[in-house]
Amino acid sequence: MSENSNERREALGEWAREARQRADEVKSTIVQQLNEGAETIRREVRQTDSISADDLERADEVAEGLERAANYLNTTSYEQMGSDVTHAIEEEVSRNPIRNLVIAFAVGVVVGLILRSNGRSSWS
């Protein structure tokens, strides 16, 4: 039994390494695409002849937002990202508890109706 347990542990470890490697590849691709998107926005906007200063400023803000997102992904661990998301959700819920309860209730009703209709059609 110990040997079987070790094999499972090794298989799970290998799967976790492969999943982490794939996640790193996807993350790297996203970072590259965000940076390329920012560069493209700036280049295209500057090549436009009749662009206002306000539009140029907005385009730069969008490009900067893409670059900040790329930097965040590039410099933040998965664990920290999870912690950041958890913190943001907790903060949002504490700021607007009633609204979020209403949203959760509405989502629950919709999901319940979908599951109920799927249940009827499969039992018919």
Cβ atoms 59, 13 nearer than 8 A: no
**3-class DSSP assignment, residue 96:** coil
The reported pLDDT for the residue numbered 49 is 84
pLDDT in tens, 46-87: 898 888 999 999 999 999 999 999 999 999 999 999 999 999
The reported pLDDT for the residue numbered 120 is 59
Domain boundaries, the chain: 1-75, 81-124
Please state whether the predicted TM-score (pTM) of the whole model is above 0.95: no
The position carrying tokens 């629950």 is 108
Distance CA 16, CA 45 (A): 43
Cβ atoms 38, 81 nearer than 8 A: no
